[in-house]
Amino acid sequence: MEEPNLNYINELAGDDNDFRATLIGVIKNELPTEINEYQDNLAAQNFNAAADNVHKLKHKISVMGMEQSYYLAEKFENNLKSSSTLLQAEFGQLLMAMQGFAASL
């Protein structure tokens, strides 16, 4: 699996350390909430709402520089829209990797 990284954030922020810190703060702040919402909706079998959560998480995935995982999320989002949970396990692993990375920042 791809490793989350800060390449995009570093490139975007350049020498602006405040902006870099802002972006990292947004990730640390928003990611756990978004993941919780996704898990709650999935548990309740609210697939469309869970697809919306995955859609929002896609931006975090791309910001964490994980191109391949982005496509995985895109497919999973479409599966959820069709009430299918195919790729749920893979997406779950991706979220764990992102959470671990965010916590280490």
List the one residue out of 83, 74, 36, 68 whose CA is nearest residue 54. Answer: 74
* Count of residues of this chain found to bind another protein when the rule CB under 8 A is applied: 18
Site string for another protein, 46-75 (x = CB under 8 A): ------x--xx-xxx-xx------------
DSSP state of 2: P
- Identify which range of 7-15, 38-46, 79-87, 94-102 contacts another protein by CB under 8 A: 7-15
Q: Could you tell me the smallest distance in angstroms from the CB atom of residue 90 to another protein?
A: 18
For 45: left if phi > 0, alpha if psi spans -120 to 50, otherwise beta; the answer is left
